[in-house]
Structure 1
Amino acid sequence: MARLFSVCVVSTLLHQSAVAHVESRQQPLQFNHEHNAQTELHLSGRFLHLTDIHLDVHYQEGSSVSSDCYSKKNLKKSDKVAGFYGAPGSNCDSPVALVQGTFQFVKQVLKNPDHGIDFVVWTGDNSRHDKKNLRIKEAEVAEANRIVTSYIIDAFSDPKRPGHATVPVLASIGNNDIYPHNRLRYSRKADTPVLNFFADLWAPFIPKSQDATFRRIGSYMVELTPNKLWGVSLNTLYLASFNGAVPDCRRRKWPLAFYQTNSADKVQFDNDDIETEASHKLSAGDDVLNWLEVDVLIPARNRNISVYISGHVPPNVVNYGTDCYSEFSRLTFKYRDIIRGQFYGHMNIDHFFFTTPDQVLRRYSSSTSLQSTDLTRVNTNTELVLFSSSKQNDADESQVKGVVTIMSPSWVMLYFEYLILHYKVVQESKIIPQPIFVSPSVVPVFNPGIRVYIYDVVSDGLGDPNLKKRKNIPATRFGTLLDYEQYYADLEYWNRVTDVERAASVDDVISTAETPHDKSFKHQTPRSKYLYELEYNSKSLYDLSGHGIDTKGWLDLAKRLGGSTVSQPKRRKKSKKSTKKSTGDDQDETTKDRWNQQQNSKQKETRNLRRLFFSNMIVHLKGLISPFGL
């Protein structure tokens, strides 16, 4: 059986190779923006999204999962142990082997001519979590970011032009990429050491014209395709509610007059809509969102340019400060004609949602068992609890029987309930912007996942004339998302392959797998030599309507997940003179029976769809039963 790389390489050597990867990397990678027009002729219409790698060089294969995969002391036979590629369903971070396998797949499969990658969206959290069993230090956080940056550089460097990149990279800061975690200070006038560190580290990715902006607010913009598509790396830590180092945004008029805008952009605002800097104290979130609107969205609209927005923390009422979320939502609604996609990480799970007015969600949540105080628990995504299958509601008996209790994030059930409520809410909104896409993480909280988006590189921004003739399909423009491919790594399988290969030579893998203690293994179809495989295509799996994967298709999916019902037929009025069962009564009963059948069928479809969605949400982690009774 072909292999990703020989498992004879000891884990300590993997650790050493990761460090050496940094020390021996080539000169700082530079993306030549002046030559971007040349690459436009060779666009593949595909881009990569990587998030939440959480490299942990202290990870020990064979250690106890309960020790965060750090210690083999007092190990019992009943203990769950750390596998070679990781420990899915645990609190452990990513071993070096998993990170190397991930980038080997990117470099040798996704980047090759049969696929192709036009640019990379890389949404942060490269360092491991801080653990009680092993406290993290500032130097380790910085080193983890250097190592992962070196992997990006190695995967997308141009051998014909040393020191240059073949693609642009939108890199974002994660809440675990700073020390201490979750706390990023802000100063408009003085330098912020953390932002200076990343500005220097990511100088290959940040245009020189954006350097000063990044050092102030940790955000930057890249021209992905000249005069057609811009990409934004948004510092969401200045919007996040858990960042105690900065206050929430301020409710006020927008935008601020002190931004250097073109005269053509300024005319869109009346004098009454503009405040001066002296009229209030600017918060970090204000600065970020002002920049996003005035320096990116307004010029993009004036030039008919599509915009992608990326960041670490997804924008919703759970993650953002109340006022920051309100202002961000306002921007997504106002500029929904040019914002063609939004891409985030942080949550580790595969899902989507829409920016909706927070007061709408609060109105709906107040009438349900899901309270606002419960929603705040969703952010504590590093605490783990045991979920027992016997406690799952509405599960089929055949599915419950024999399921082993596993470790799983304590918030996943609660967040799934929150999403279902959200999907019900968006049905009430008449105007909805593009959905927010949250990709699963590389770190094996569940199984690792990476994503490739397919986007429109043909339309000139004025729309396809052939599509305009069809009223149910909107006019397309450059950057419209057409589909995405979700890839995942089945770590249970690959960890087992590693164990088998260590028990025999590589040539004897199949025969060894057929030994009595591995009978179930021999019935599995041999996988590719790479860790990752295609999990699904979004458009075909979810039967998304419309052109590409536009808002209409995702709203329809939200409606199906939310549980749309069949309208109940009206009963005929009985005649006062009639005392016997009439023909009308028979018709009413027949109609009622037909309605009940339709309703039952609809509910079954909803349960099956939720079951499928939940399975993808947790990246096929085995042992956790979907709460499809919601």
Structure 2
Amino acid sequence: MKVAYSLCLLATFAHLTVGQTNRTLVKGLTGKFLHVTDIHLDPYYLTGSSPKHLCHKQSEKAYKNTAGRFGALGTKCDSPLSLVDASFQFMKESLQDIDFIIYTGDTARHDRDKVMKRTEPDILEGHKAVVDYFKNAFDIQTIKLIPTLGNNDGTEHNILRSTSSIYSSLESIWKPLGLNLNDTFPTGGYFMQNDVVPGLQIMNINSMFFFYKNTAVEGCDKEGSPGAIQLAWMKNKLELAKKDNAMVYIMGHVPPYHDDGSPSFTPSCLSQYFDLIGRYGDVIAGHFTGHTNNDVLTAVVANNGTFEAIPAIPIKNNLRTLHVGPIASMFFNAPSIIPVNNPAIRVYQYQTMPGKEYPVGTILDWDQYYADLDKANAEGKIEYELEYKASQLYGVNRFDAQGISRAFKQLRVNSLSRQNYIRYVTVSKT
């Protein structure tokens, strides 16, 4: 397994007129869904404090107290209530025209403050608060909210066991969401949700069982390990979906690779995971993650009987010419609300009815929204605006294997587009 990098795969802003896909919507569906990730709510954030102290207290040196009202851009501080309030207010006012919501985790603040350590009640209150935010912004009886677990969502940072108490706690907190948490969730934290869109199944995985920092679980080559059990479950569900002529979205928190190209899954889990994703690429309409805070599009490409990941970003200037081979699947990694970069929210447009060219779930486009945090802090108000539209950025009108292939071909030849995409990777952070 390897990751290939190339300047030719940098995403681009091509000033093209992209044809709209002709499609018929299923009655009662808008053909759009919302992707939110990495909120990292911090009720202890203090405006006018020092990022050196994680925005929890002031420094004796006044010039170091730079934490703004809506967050401290590019620091290790988490999200203040004011930023989260404003983000959900934007969703409530402007993003109601959706069918469902995927929330790819990391609700709680980081456990970085040695003086103000996270407690289990802190974590659970964070989960309750974020569910309440969604409930107040949307009618979750008609717009299904599907959350997943991140590496900061358990009671221990980066640690989730099959016996973790967080599963039973979340069963209670998530009860109003009407999720299918009966079978695998109590001992694994993963589940299938098949009642959102006809012909489309949502596979919500626990990526922590594959994550290399989760030292509480053994690798996927160990029979009976949580990761091995989950992979077998995934294979079974994908096979059943294939027999039922259904398409699948896979959602989780941690992507298989970090943005620097290093694996985030353990070696034994990574190889088996990619084999599964590649072999069932005709069933998987999309793979959605967060965690890295960056905006990254990745192709899963067949390579001599195995599969490799090709992200559309340069890594450490290690650039070489690479021609994209047969694409088996694709990963969509969305940027976060926590202001490591500018806060961001994404709305996808997807196919709701099966067709000759576009199966149910085919990603047709997305709108990437962001807020200029420096401007917001300077003006005392925050406004989300459209950062880019994917069909214009990539020059295609769908994001299946053929569309991604054409997008990468376009990306290879347009230097202006590459420059724009590099800016979008970190959400237009200057």
Question: What is the CA-CA distance between 1:347 and the residue it aligns to?
Answer: 0.3
Is 1:109 paired with 2:83? no
Question: What is the CA-CA distance between 1:99 and the residue it aligns to?
Answer: 0.4
Query: 1-side partners of 2:254 and 2:79: how far apart?
Result: 20
1:248 maps to what in 2? Answer: 219
Q: Please tell me whether Structure 1 or Structure 2 has the larger radius of gyration of its CA atoms.
A: 1
Cα deviations by residue, 1:471-490 (Å, 9 ceiling, x for unpaired): xxxx2122111100000011
Corresponding residue SS for 2:287: strand
Of 589, 609, 613 in structure 1, the residue corresponding to residue 421 of structure 2 is 613
1:540 maps to what in 2? Answer: 392
- Report if the CA contact (8 A) 1:481-1:549 is conserved: yes
1:336-375 alignment runs, 5 A limit: 336-356=281-301
1:107-506 alignment runs, 5 A limit: 107-111=92-96, 116-131=97-112, 132-157=114-139, 165-187=141-163, 192-208=164-180, 210-225=181-196, 227-250=198-221, 281-294=223-236, 296-316=237-257, 318-356=263-301, 416-418=313-315, 427=323, 429=325, 431-457=326-352, 459=353, 461-463=354-356, 475-498=357-380
- Report if the CA contact (8 A) 2:201-2:246 is conserved: yes
Q: 1:613 to 1:342 in 2, by over 3 A?
A: same
Aligned residue pairs: how many?
A: 401
Question: What is the CA-CA distance between 1:454 and the residue it aligns to?
Answer: 0.3
Query: 1-side partners of 2:319 and 2:124: how far apart?
Result: 37
- Report if the CA contact (8 A) 1:329-1:356 is conserved: no
- Report if the CA contact (8 A) 2:249-2:287 is conserved: yes
Question: What is the CA-CA distance between 1:169 and the residue it aligns to?
Answer: 1.9
Question: What is the CA-CA distance between 1:212 and the residue it aligns to?
Answer: 2.5
Give the structure-1-normalised TM-score: 0.60
Question: What is the CA-CA distance between 1:462 and the residue it aligns to?
Answer: 4.2
1:26 maps to what in 2? Answer: none
Query: 2-side partners of 1:423 and 1:104: how far apart?
Result: 44
Question: What is the CA-CA distance between 1:445 and the residue it aligns to?
Answer: 0.3
Is 1:63 paired with 2:49? yes
- Report if the CA contact (8 A) 1:424-1:558 is conserved: no
Of 21, 41, 48 in structure 1, the residue corresponding to residue 27 of structure 2 is 41
Residue type matched to 1:313 in 2?
V
Corresponding residue SS for 2:34: strand
Query: 1-side partners of 2:62 and 2:284: how far apart?
Result: 53
2:12 maps to what in 1? Answer: none
Query: 2-side partners of 1:361 and 1:95: how far apart?
Result: 44
1:520-539 alignment runs, 5 A limit: 531-539=383-391
Q: 1:364 to 1:552 in 2, by over 3 A?
A: closer
CA-based RMSD of the aligned residues comes to 2.8
Cα deviations by residue, 1:274-316 (Å, 9 ceiling, x for unpaired): xxxxxx731111111111121x211211111111111100123
1:3-18 alignment runs, 5 A limit: none
Q: 1:54 to 1:207 in 2, by over 3 A?
A: closer
2:15 maps to what in 1? Answer: none
Q: 1:196 to 1:357 in 2, by over 3 A?
A: farther
Q: 1:434 to 1:66 in 2, by over 3 A?
A: same
Corresponding residue SS for 2:177: coil
- Report if the CA contact (8 A) 1:168-1:224 is conserved: no
Cα deviations by residue, 1:95-119 (Å, 9 ceiling, x for unpaired): 00000111111111101xxxx1100
Any gaps of 5 or more consecutive residues in structure 2?
Answer: 1-24
Any gaps of 5 or more consecutive residues in structure 1?
Answer: 1-38, 158-163, 251-279, 366-414, 464-474, 499-528, 564-601, 623-630
Residue type matched to 1:487 in 2?
Y
Residue type matched to 2:83 in 1?
L
Q: 1:285 to 1:356 in 2, by over 3 A?
A: farther
Query: 1-side partners of 2:174 and 2:309: how far apart?
Result: 43
Corresponding residue SS for 2:369: strand
- Report if the CA contact (8 A) 1:170-1:232 is conserved: no
1:380 maps to what in 2? Answer: none
Corresponding residue SS for 1:340: strand
2:13 maps to what in 1? Answer: none
Query: 2-side partners of 1:194 and 1:229: how far apart?
Result: 28
Give the structure-2-normalised TM-score: 0.86
- Report if the CA contact (8 A) 1:48-1:452 is conserved: yes
Q: Looking at secondary structure, tell me which structure has more strand per residue.
A: 2
Question: What is the CA-CA distance between 1:619 and the residue it aligns to?
Answer: 0.8
Cα deviations by residue, 1:559-616 (Å, 9 ceiling, x for unpaired): 565x5xxxxxxxxxxxxxxxxxxxxxxxxxxxxxxxxxxxxxx5xx43x333211100
Question: What is the CA-CA distance between 1:225 and the residue it aligns to?
Answer: 4.2
Is 1:90 paired with 2:75? yes
Question: What is the CA-CA distance between 1:186 and the residue it aligns to?
Answer: 2.1
Q: Looking at secondary structure, tell me which structure has more helix per residue.
A: 1
Identical-pair percentage: 34
